[in-house]
Structure 1
Amino acid sequence: MAEITYQGAKIYFEVAGEGDKVPLVLLHGFLEDSRIWEEIVKELKKERQIICIDLPGHGKSQGIADIHTMTLMADVVREVLNSLEIKRVSVAGHSMGGYASLELLRNFPMIIESVMLINSTPLEDTVEKQEIRERSVKLVGRNKKAYVSMAISNLFPEESKKKFASEIEDLKARAYEMKSKNIQATLKGMKIRTNYLEELNGFGRQKIIAASKEDPILDFNELQRLAKGCDCEFHSLENGHNSYMEDLNNLTKIMHFID
């Protein structure tokens, strides 16, 4: 992996592939890291350059601040692209990575060719969700491992918990390695993120929302309505929230058509 230093913190990323298409940035979700994309990268790197980034406090990347805002996440992505001298990209983000993708679109629209949200939403947290994040911050302080295990398990419907038991345990094991303060900083950052519907509506190039029918934390029908209202391509996926694991083949096929 390559690295840059941003505000005193080491940020790690990996670059693979080449081709005529605009480079594609892949951004992982909360409690994940860039390794979630390994199988997808194997396919997509045949036609374009792929940049996978460990967002602050995740994977090998160090934490930066008491609150990891989506603005900070987007700034980190921008700095990685600057280090690679890349002027234009498409971006796809899973869950929290989708929020960071939309913040990148908000702050640096001139560099974005296409944007894809995977099991993610352009909406801000509801009041109820904000309260859950506040309680989660406290729980992480008391028992990080219990929180991580619960938070990851809650992403999967029961059938997926059985089918992908080994992969889920591996995901948990990697998340256990995260520092409590970085988990808390990210929870705080997601809690205060804003609504991105205006940016998504105003974006005139390719925009995609992919949602899973059995996602336990995002409403499939709501995302379908949002996609229609924002004139986004909408794609239906099977199983739960982590479609890069639960519906890998279909997701990869969709991602081949990112401009």
Structure 2
Amino acid sequence: MLNFERKGNGKEILVLLHGFMENLTIWSDMEPHLSGDFSLLKIDLPGHGQSEIMAEVQTMELMAEEVKKVLDDQNIDKVHLLGHSMGGYVSLEFAEKYPEYLKSLTLFFSTYFPDDDEKKEQRIKSYRIIKDAFSHYARAGIPNLFNPNERDILEGKIETALETALSTNNLGALASVKGMVDRTDKRNVIENLDAKILILAGKHDNAVKTDMLIKNLPDRTNIKSYILDCGHNGHWEKPCICAAIINTELLHNLPKKLVF
């Protein structure tokens, strides 16, 4: 069973899935601003936080199946599911396999597109350094995930992100990178899911092609998108704004596309 924490007694259950080299602690800045109507279920994905490595290649399908085991263990059958980055990939896989569980799906600085050939090659080249020089890998990559125009302001958050990354089991990270290389195109999920779909994206996100992501969204009334003035880590860069959007969109309604 994956490690998880539950917080709050709200009627609406919001499942939070972290990204690559993260764990369930990353939501601490957003939590105080999320509505009391939510009961939060925070999960450590395989090989991250306090969850064990599940396989040599941790596919998004495997991770989604493990998330479902947590829900079933807790007797939960309807949730709002939110995933950051890799957690978004897992959320899309979950939505494809278990759509009946979802009240909403939130891609939080993530994408439904698979890796292109260049990105796959970058990930494959990273295997050895993740295994043999993980600290160097994390220190080189983490700062680039934040808004380059606010590096001075975000210095403390960058350090927090780095500490979180360095606490990750390097073999768990390696197994997850291999799983991300294998992930497939999930545009069909976005096109066919009946549940509400919320997209939060960063104007300065170096990990997600935000313009392509937003441009290719199908014109459906159940989809809403927001572009924020931040990088890849809205939970650390813009926690108040991100929480406000989640509160409003998952519990109420707003116009279809806004830019913050």
The normalised TM-score by structure 2 is 0.91
Equivalent residue in structure 2 for 1:204, among 188, 194, 199: 194
Equivalent residue in structure 1 for 2:229, among 208, 232, 238: 238
Alignment of structure 1 residues 1-259 onto 2, 5 Å: 5=1, 11-21=2-12, 23-44=13-34, 46-229=36-219, 232-256=223-247, 257-259=249-251
Structure 1: 5+ residue stretches without partners: 6-10
Is the CA contact (8 Å cut-off) linking 2:148 and 2:204 kept in structure 1? no
Question: SS of the counterpart of 1:87?
Answer: coil
Work out the CA distance in 2 between the residues paired with 1:27 and 1:188: 18
State the shift of 1:248 in Å: 1.4
Work out the CA distance in 1 between the residues paired with 2:214 and 2:148: 23
State the shift of 1:45 in Å: 5.3
State the shift of 1:160 in Å: 3.0
Question: For structure 1, which segment, 227-236 or 24-33, has the greater mean C-alpha deviation from structure 2 after superposition?
Answer: 227-236
State the shift of 1:216 in Å: 1.6
* Equivalent residue, structure 1, for 2:256: none
State the shift of 1:244 in Å: 0.8
Question: For structure 1, which segment, 12-21 or 39-48, has the greater mean C-alpha deviation from structure 2 after superposition?
Answer: 39-48
Distance of aligned partners of 1:228 and 1:247 in 2 relative to their CA distance in 1, 3 Å threshold:
farther
State the shift of 1:141 in Å: 2.1
Code of the aligned partner of 1:85: N
Work out the CA distance in 1 between the residues paired with 2:84 and 2:45: 12
Is the CA contact (8 Å cut-off) linking 1:197 and 1:230 kept in structure 2? no
Code of the aligned partner of 1:171: A
Work out the CA distance in 2 between the residues paired with 1:95 and 1:121: 7
Aligned residues: 249
Work out the CA distance in 1 between the residues paired with 2:76 and 2:195: 19
Distance of aligned partners of 1:45 and 1:157 in 2 relative to their CA distance in 1, 3 Å threshold:
closer
Question: For structure 1, which segment, 51-60 or 160-169, has the greater mean C-alpha deviation from structure 2 after superposition?
Answer: 160-169
Work out the CA distance in 2 between the residues paired with 1:230 and 1:69: 29
State the shift of 1:214 in Å: 1.1
CA deviation profile, 1:31-90 (whole Å, cap 9, x unmatched): 111111113222325112110001111111111110111011101110111111001111
CA deviation profile, 1:78-135 (whole Å, cap 9, x unmatched): 0111111001111011111110110100111111110010111001000100000001
Is the CA contact (8 Å cut-off) linking 2:23 and 2:49 kept in structure 1? yes
State the shift of 1:165 in Å: 1.2
The normalised TM-score by structure 1 is 0.92
The higher-RCO structure (CA 8 Å, 6+ apart) is: 2
Is the CA contact (8 Å cut-off) linking 1:16 and 1:45 kept in structure 2? no
Work out the CA distance in 2 between the residues paired with 1:253 and 1:17: 17
Q: Share of identical aligned residues, percent? A: 32
RMSD of aligned C-alpha atoms? 1.4
